[in-house]
Amino acid sequence: MSTFPTPHLEKLTATHGNDKLPACDKPRIERAIERYHEWIKTMDAVTGKTPGKRLEKLVALLNEYRLWVDVDLIFDSDDNFLYRQKGQLKIDNSVIEEFLPRLVHPSILPEIKGFDVAVGPAKCFSALYFESSLDVPQPGGGMTIRTKAQDFAISRKLHLRAAHGPNFEDAVTKDVFIAYVVSECKTNLDKTMFQEACATAHDVKSAVSGARYYLLCEWLDMTPVSTAATDVDEVIILRKSKRLGSNVRGNFGSARGRRDYRARYIKHLTDNPLQVEMFQRFLGHVLGLLQSEAPVERDVLSAGYF
């Protein structure tokens, strides 16, 4: 876990190389890449007497950088490309994806030390099937692995080998990650996204029986519903707030509209920052999994349940 993944930097680099990027925005993306490296450098230098203090400083730096991305980079552009294509470019959304691995780290979560796991975005095991038949035999039965790209996962590498013979002649070998904790990161959570997440959570838990699935969103854009009947363990709203109303957002499609409503947009962002307690809640779930132990028969019989 010494090297952190860089999904946000990858999105910035991809945007810079996008043929559709307006000429006026190219210098903005170049500045954003510089600003990104400054952000990473300041996070790497964070210190504090306790993990809690270090977490508070990291979240403060996250809010500062995210506000710059949302406003200075995207919202203030004289062209409409960056704002209108946010969902496809994923410049803003990927910030959280890059931030989370810095939390599931011994400096913030000491209990994770010693666990041989990968932390961050990953293509994780989804299903195993065999592409072969009696008349069309394949080595290893045609073992095939289907994977699913997860925004964030705590996973372990797994090596699989299949062959028809006990000595594994002509074996097929596959390497894959199996996810024990999966988090999908959303900027705005609406009903359609929630339903899609429920389906993903079901697939995750069908693949790995002990897995946990958490849906992390910044803004709520739907009427809350119970997760009890789904495979989603919890929805965590990182800003503890609803999305800015559509009557206001409808003006953001043009540079002039964004200028007219800039102060209101900034106020909504600054009044509802990403909350330390919400990241703490997520870490608490991870900690609970790390500290879980198999039930002892003596204790179970004494309590009468397990």
- 21 assigned to some structural domain: yes
From CA 278, how far away is CA 184, in angstroms rounded? 15
Q: Which helix (H) or strand (E) holds 155?
A: strand 143-162
The DSSP 8-state label assigned to residue 178 in this structure reads E
Pair 39, 28: CB distance under 8 Å: no
From CA 301, how far away is CA 201, in angstroms rounded? 33
- 19 assigned to some structural domain: yes
- 306 assigned to some structural domain: no
Pair 117, 2: CB distance under 8 Å: no
Q: What does the pLDDT look like over 193-232, one tens digit per residue?
A: 999 999 999 999 999 999 999 999 999 999 999 999 999 9
Give the mean pLDDT of 158-171: 94
The share of the chain scoring above pLDDT 90, in percent, equals 92
Domain range enclosing 30: 7-292
- Alpha helix positions (H), 208-295: 246-249, 255-260, 262-271, 276-291
248 phi and psi, to 5 degrees?
Answer: -90, -45
For the cut 80, the answer to whether the pLDDT of residue 156 exceeds it is yes
| The predicted structure's pLDDT at residue 306 | 77
For the cut 50, the answer to whether the pLDDT of residue 80 exceeds it is yes
From CA 61, how far away is CA 56, in angstroms rounded? 9
Pair 279, 55: CB distance under 8 Å: yes
Give the mean pLDDT of 164-185: 95
- 50 assigned to some structural domain: yes
The DSSP 8-state label assigned to residue 82 in this structure reads H
Of 2-11, 142-151, 280-289, 290-299, which range is least confident?
Answer: 290-299
- 303 assigned to some structural domain: no
Q: Give the pairing type, strands 172-189 and 143-162.
A: antiparallel
- 299 assigned to some structural domain: no
Give the mean pLDDT of 25-49: 97
- 300 assigned to some structural domain: no
For the cut 80, the answer to whether the pLDDT of residue 13 exceeds it is yes
- 2 assigned to some structural domain: no
| The predicted structure's pLDDT at residue 299 | 80
| The predicted structure's pLDDT at residue 298 | 82
Average predicted confidence (pLDDT) for the chain: 94
SS3 174: strand
What pTM was estimated for this model as a whole? Answer: 0.91
Give the mean pLDDT of 53-72: 98
For the cut 60, the answer to whether the pLDDT of residue 1 exceeds it is no
Pair 195, 222: CB distance under 8 Å: no
- Provide the number of structural domains found in the chain: 1
pLDDT band at 78; cut points 50, 70, 90: very high
What six digits make up the tokens of 62? Answer: 């996250």
